[in-house]
């Protein structure tokens, strides 16, 4: 069992900087939780507090039912993998893997057994790798040794602080899959920090989106994508990000419309309760690029869901095309099939899948639910 519980955790640096502003989170046993957010939002600080590498200014951290605020890092049963690997340069791979166990005076036989087991899991026992020094390894191999050092300890919880940031794009994908497999194999609690939303979506059972020292939303990958609770999360998750169009909700012949110069789209009955308080007021209408179609390829091209937009940029991506469009005051991007032949400056009939529409309060930026 390894549950991690954060209660009202705050971190202040001096009097001026509050890096973490009273966060609450329960991480379940065996769960893979990813903290994601822009640089400086407090992800690493939170992880370091869980590891015991930073004091907590206020609040309570528990591992299972034990409060660990004052337990030194080495006694927490928590292992951390760092972005810069933190390997000992003068030691071989074997010695790096064995080091923490030697320090804890494990019997030699047990050390060897655990090191070989970790080396097996991570593919580090090939071609004399265990005898090499870190400088004789590639970036990916060093990262594996860093992960191996935490595995040998058989901790209750693994913490990863941007472990793949120093790897090139291809290796990052490969290591991402390996970390996924590792979680499946070890079946243990993992908490992972990244600024990369794709990494977060692909790895996490649950994702914690942070901004400015606060948690904005906690959800599984599909929940986060389909039901972002505010414009920040909606814009942070997904690439290209969700489009935000500004306009008003207007009523006409018992129907409601989202309207702005050059745009008029009929709302569906399921939206009515959401926007009720904003009738004839400003609203932010959110729609993902894949939910906007060139009329030629649209399944349901009713005129009340269709507008005319001017093509500003055509960006072919191979499997699909990004069309950057403009209508009145609003610009937005559509992700369309690579069979689309739209050209720059063309006026195009564009269809919105209104069943995928999101609405946000322009003042609070919160989703209208």
> 43 or 153: whose CB is closer to ligand ADP?
43
State in angstroms the smallest separation of the CB of 59 from ligand ADP.
15
Alpha-carbon distance of 306 to 300, in angstroms, equals 10
> 41 or 245: whose CB is closer to ligand ADP?
41
- What are the residues facing 79 on neighbouring strands? 158
State in angstroms the smallest separation of the CB of 37 from ligand ADP.
6
State in angstroms the smallest separation of the CB of 303 from ligand ADP.
46
> Which strands make up the sheet holding 306-316, listed edge to edge?
292-294, 347-352, 306-316, 320-327, 330-337
> 43 or 142: whose CB is closer to ligand ADP?
43
> 39 or 341: whose CB is closer to ligand ADP?
39
State in angstroms the smallest separation of the CB of 166 from ligand ADP.
15
By the criterion CB under 6 A, which residues form the site for ligand ADP?
Answer: 13, 17, 19, 37, 39-45
Q: How many CB atoms lie within 10 A of CB 164?
A: 25
Taking only Cα atoms into account, the Rg of the chain, rounded to an integer number of angstroms, comes to 25
State in angstroms the smallest separation of the CB of 18 from ligand ADP.
8
> 41 or 51: whose CB is closer to ligand ADP?
41
Peptide bond into 89 cis (omega under 30): no
State in angstroms the smallest separation of the CB of 145 from ligand ADP.
23
Could you please report the per-residue DSSP string of 70-128?
Answer: TS-GGGS-EEEE-TT----TTS-HHHHHHHHHHHTT--HHHHHHHHHHHHHHHT-SSTT
Task: Report which secondary-structure segment, H or E, holds 314.
Answer: strand 306-316
> 23 or 97: whose CB is closer to ligand ADP?
23
């Amino acid at each position: 069992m390894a549950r991690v519980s954060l209660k009202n955790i705050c971190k202040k640096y001096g009097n001026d900087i509050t890096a973490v502003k009273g966060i609450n989170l329960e991480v379940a046993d065996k769960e893979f939780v990813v903290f994601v957010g822009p640089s400086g939002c407090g992800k690493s600080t939170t992880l370091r507090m869980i590891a015991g590498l930073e004091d907590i200014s206020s609040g309570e951290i528990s591992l299972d039912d034990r409060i660990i605020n004052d337990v030194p890092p080495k006694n927490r049963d928590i292992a951390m993998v760092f972005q810069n690997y933190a390997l000992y340069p003068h030691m071989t791979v074997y010695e790096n893997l064995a080091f923490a166990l030697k320090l804890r005076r494990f019997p030699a036989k047990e050390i060897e057994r655990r090191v070989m087991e970790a080396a097996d899991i991570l593919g580090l026992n090939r071609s004399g790798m265990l005898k090499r020094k870190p400088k004789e390894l590639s970036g990916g191999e060093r990262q594996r040794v860093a992960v191996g050092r935490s595995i040998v300890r058989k901790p209750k919880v693994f913490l990863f602080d941007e472990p793949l940031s120093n790897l090139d794009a291809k290796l990052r994908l490969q290591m991402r899959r390996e970390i996924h497999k590792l979680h499946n194999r070890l079946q243990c609690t993992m908490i992972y920090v990244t600024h990369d939303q794709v990494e977060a979506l692909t790895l996490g059972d649950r994702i914690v989106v942070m901004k400015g020292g606060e948690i904005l939303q906690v959800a599984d990958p599909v929940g986060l994508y389909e039901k972002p609770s505010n414009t920040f999360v909606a814009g942070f998750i997904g690439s290209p990000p969700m489009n935000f169009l500004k306009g008003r909700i207007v009523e006409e012949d018992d129907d409601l419309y989202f309207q702005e110069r050059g745009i008029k789209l009929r709302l569906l009955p399921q939206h009515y309760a959401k926007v009720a308080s904003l009738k004839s007021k400003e609203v932010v209408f959110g729609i993902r690029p894949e939910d906007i179609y060139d009329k030629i390829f649209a399944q349901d091209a009713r005129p009340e869901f269709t507008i005319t937009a001017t093509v500003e940029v055509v960006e072919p991506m191979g499997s699909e095309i990004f069309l950057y469009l403009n209508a009145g005051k609003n610009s937005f991007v559509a992700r369309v099939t690579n069979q689309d032949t739209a050209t720059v400056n063309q006026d195009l009939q564009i269809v919105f899948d209104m069943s995928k529409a999101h609405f946000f309060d322009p003042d609070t930026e919160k989703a209208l639910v």
